[in-house]
A and B are shown apart, each in its own frame.
Chain A
Amino acid sequence: MIAFAVRRLLTTIPVLLIAITACFFILRLAPGGPFDQERALPPEVMANLRAYYHLDDPLIYQYLRYLGRLVQFDLGPSFVTKDFSVARQIAIGLPYTLILGGAAFLVAVVGGVAAGIYGALYQNRIPDYGIAGIVMIGLVVPNFLIAPILQLVFGVELGWLPVGGWGNGSPYYLTLPVIVLALPHVARISRLMRGSMIETLNANFIKTARAKGIGRRRIILRHALRPALTPVVSYLGPAAGYLLTGSIVVEQIFGIPGIGRYFINAALNRDYGMVLGTVIFYMALIVLLNLLVDLAYAWLDPKVRTR
């Protein structure tokens, strides 16, 4: 198992290198640069700025310098937020994203799985339709619409919850952003879970268990849950990747200083160092999550383990 994991991690290095290279050069092809702004700078000052960040060197030197620093785990400076290096900014924003995304992930898994099982048990009856309705809302209404509505209802009108802010990560502040972030995933997971649970409940081994007179609760939790989870798990990798890289919409609307906004803002600002830094970080995270999904598969499905 360890050898498998190590081999998987090693094969990602060339992939990472190709991605960094492509990203590095494509970024430079984009018009505009980090110091273009509404007010043009005197050409001499612009030249000084470019020299300060070595942007006046030939591109290939800049590229080699970047790789050289990267080998030493240095993501370099940010061209826009001058007082914080790229690595430092990611380190500052990451805890917020991890807490928010982690909480949303838990809510999505627990809520989605529970709703899916419930829907499967009451298939084509009122509770199932009720859940399906909520699921549709979660799937089709975009978060930039749900978030303001929740803010207006629970924050402004009822005054039960804060409209925005982090508040040291207290559940009081986290409730609304977590709901907004988790809702589409609750919806998708519950659909997957419902389908897979219905299928599993019709499988022969469940019928056998039922014939033996085992109670419904025990059948579901002990026998049906694990095999039914397999399709859900394959969805969890991308879902976790999505949630843990942050959401610019949720972060902007709720004023949470996570890393979701970095990538888009950096791309718009032509903050070359920051764009590359976030790409590398996202890739590393996704590689890691995929590995975890594979390991989880092995745990859930004995057939995978023996292969």
Chain B
Amino acid sequence: MHHFLKALVSAVALCAVTGLSPAAAVTLNLHNGGDATSLDPQRVSGDWENRIVGDIFEGLVTEDAKARPIPGMARDWTISDDGLTYTFNLKEGIKWSDGEPVKASDFVFAFKRLMDPEQAAQYAYLQYPIKNAEAINTGKMDDLDALGVKAIDDRTVEITLERPTPYYLSALLHYTAYPLPEHVLKEKGDAWVQIGNIVTNGPYRPVEWVPGSHVLTEKNPEWSDPESLDIDGVKFFTLEDQSAALRRYRAGEFDILTGFPTDQYKWLQENRPGEARVEPFAGLYYYVLNTSRPPLDKADVRKALSMAVYREIIGPNVLGTGELPAFSWVPPGIGNYESGPAYVEWKDMAYPQRVEEAKRLLAEAGHGPDNPLKLTLSYNTDDNHKRIAVAVAAMWKPLGVDVELTNAETKVHYANLRQGTFEVGRAGWLADYDDPTNFLDLLKSGIEMNYGRWTNPEYDALLNKAAEMQNLEERAATLVKAETIALEDSAAIPIYYYVSRNVVSPQISGFEDNIKDIHRTRWLAKTE
């Protein structure tokens, strides 16, 4: 028994010692939210995964501190006059973390793998601007070599597009455009991504991954400029409970929180002034109306519902985090859209007037307090969605609209939206790339994500026309026209523009707010 006790005590002591070993290196402790499903940039889909893969891989272009494109693996590039061919010259001496050179063929290999239908990469469609990409990915074309990505030599990548795509450089920032170490994938197959096998080309490399706990990275000594990095490594913590994360932040265990409970915003502003950052974010929170069901097939009914949503109070009063009310379909500040966005014509009308107008429109459609319009409003189970749904139901009540609220877990909710088994449904969209088409495409006919099944031939024609345009100003003007049509016809109900919610410790510098909410570690510094 005594031996057992001794062994136990020494084991415990050993654990304690190893647990408390001093950290000489500067580690950024980042609360990352969800659990990474993979480190393979072609197998991930969440913003929490983007934070990791964007630190360990680097594309032809990469993000600066404000998430604008700057040269990454490419030193420079030329775009042909017809806007179809991009030629990238790679930097000299770029290496994978195992010391092997990063070659043009690594990009070609990665793009082919991305489009290979057998790989079933979820976000492959973001690179559909590439010639033949969509045909290959959807199985209409068998020949992977027909993909418009070529290695001219070891240091030159040529990408040919299907049609001129003014936002394509911004699409190249996306993790679907990262190169992959062909030599490692060929040797290890699917196991290439395990710690011990994985080889990366970004400023950092992963060294430890405990699912459900954290991913740990350290400086990649083979990256082009490791001396410029202030932070030696990042511990990306998995923790979905934002309240628990905030308590750990308060105890100094986390340096950055990538979200916080909205009801704690006031507390943070009062007790940790300047640390909570609520900034505009390229995303839209909206209600989709099932236009295939009467009476929502009538534009006037939809317009009445939209006008009566008092979105001005949702951010400040319902959520408490100051989300900006949305009167357009494309959030303001999106690139390639200087003349946009278009706004609903009643944007500046006072709310009581809007309600009167909405009542009139509904009365014309035959609805009112005597003949109430019965609607179900569905949302995916979440406290904030519920608060907003309750508020909107109350705003519609005076019009003579009886709302029944239903909620379902996320998977079921979106399955219902897709199958069209809903009347009014909550949805949201975060920009994948910095271009208005990313939002406007959601209302195109026949698009899977056009849950409301709203169709308008003129709208579709304008979007198709804009897709062929090279002149950015003319293109933007065409897209504004399209957006105006969608808003006039009340295709859906925009409610608010998303905000990013970060909490950044005063010890961290270099954290620049931006509309994409992307903050690569290489630009950050930490003082102990």
Contacts and interface: CB of A to CB of B under 8 A. Distances in A.
Given A33-B411, A156-B250, A254 B19 contact: no
A151 B449 contact: no
Interface in B113-133: 117-122, 124-125
Contacts of B35: 81
**Most B CB within 10 A of own CB, among A38, A43, A52:** A38
Given A44-B137, A83-B40, A172-B16, A164 B248 contact: yes
A19 interface: no
B409 interface: yes
B138 A42 contact: yes
Contact of B124 (A45, A51, A171): A45
Nearest to A35: B122
Contact of A32 (B120, B121, B415): B415
Given A33-B411, A152-B247, A167 B139 contact: no
A194 to B, nearest CB: 28
B70 to A, nearest CB: 27
B45 interface: yes
A162 B253 CA distance: 8
Interface stretch (A111-119, A229-237, A255-263): A255-263
**Most B CB within 10 A of own CB, among A30, A31, A172, A268:** A31
B391 to A, nearest CB: 22
A270 B193 CA distance: 24
Interface stretch (B142-150, B206-214, B508-516): B206-214
Contacts of A39: 45, 429, 449
Nearest to B447: A40
A264 B196 CA distance: 30
Contacts of B20: 167, 170, 172
A92 interface: yes
Nearest to B43: A82
A93 interface: yes
A44 B117 contact: yes
B251 A162 contact: yes
A80 interface: yes
A89 interface: yes
Interface residues of B, number: 55
A33 B37 CA distance: 17
Nearest to A30: B412
Contacts of A102: none
A171 B337 CA distance: 57
Nearest to A253: B244
B350 interface: no
Contact of B248 (A93, A163, A167, A261): A163
A93 B35 CA distance: 13
Contacts of A282: none
Interface string A165-205: 11111111100000000000000000000000000000000
Interface string B171-210: 0000000000000000000000110000000000000001
B244 A252 contact: yes
Interface in A68-98: 80-84, 89, 92-93
A131 interface: no
A12 interface: no
Contacts of B410: 37-38, 268
Contacts of B412: 30-32
A32 B417 CA distance: 11
Contact of B138 (A44, A52, A152, A164): A44
Given A35-B122, A166-B213, A257-B212, 5 more contacts: A45-B125, A83-B193, A165-B248, A168-B19, A257-B210
